[in-house]
Structure 1
């Protein structure tokens, strides 16, 4: 029985020494693991594709939600509802009249918007 314990201790010591040795052998110049390729958002009619702007007068709620930062489906639906009720937007700044769309949200997304 004592020999079993002795061999178990020796075996576990060898295993941990091997792991330490393997970690020490990792080259310092190795590149970090890369994450999978980023999937770019693609949006149809009126939506932003590869840096293009999304039209607040033509895009659907789902397109607006995909493209605009901080705009989920509910806020996007509010934009479309406002557009249906009051007609097309005449200025991008008019978007701040939509409930739930504040000045900060508008400023954050100005680069992604067009009429």
Structure 2
């Protein structure tokens, strides 16, 4: 009986840890490298993150979320679910 309870507890804790790890984290897309962008935003992997960095290098800093939407692969849904965590100014990497 105790083993089942411990197993359930461990499974619950593992689920909690996993769910926390997929939450977005604030990131300044005008300063961060591709690795930081990919690890900070939901639905943005290395390919999209690299596209963000390349677009920024070619066109300058993003002035708005709408500007970020000009990057291939970054659509309205990605912007919407990450809007609170995408920073354009400040000292965040």
Establish whether TM, by shorter chain, passes 0.5: yes
How many residue pairs get aligned? The number is 81
2:31 to 58, 80, 84: 58
Matching of residue 33 in structure 1 with residue 9 in structure 2: yes
Distance in 2 of aligned mates of 1:114 and 1:58: 9
RMSD: 2.7
SS in 2 for 1:90: coil
Question: Tell me, which stretches of 5 or more residues in structure 2 are unaligned?
Answer: 89-93
Higher relative contact order (CA 8 A, sep 6+): 2
CA shift for structure 1 position 111 = 1.5
CA shift for structure 1 position 92 = 2.2
Residues 12-31 of structure 1: matches in 2 within 5 Å?
A: 26=1, 30=5
1:16 aligned partner: none
CA shift for structure 1 position 52 = 5.4
TM-score, scaled to structure 2 = 0.72
Distance in 2 of aligned mates of 1:96 and 1:85: 15
The C-alpha deviation readout for 1:9-44, integer Å capped at 9, x for no partner, is xxxxxxxxxxxxxxxxx26xx452314583876xxx
Question: Tell me, which stretches of 5 or more residues in structure 1 are unaligned?
Answer: 1-25, 42-50
Larger radius of gyration: 1
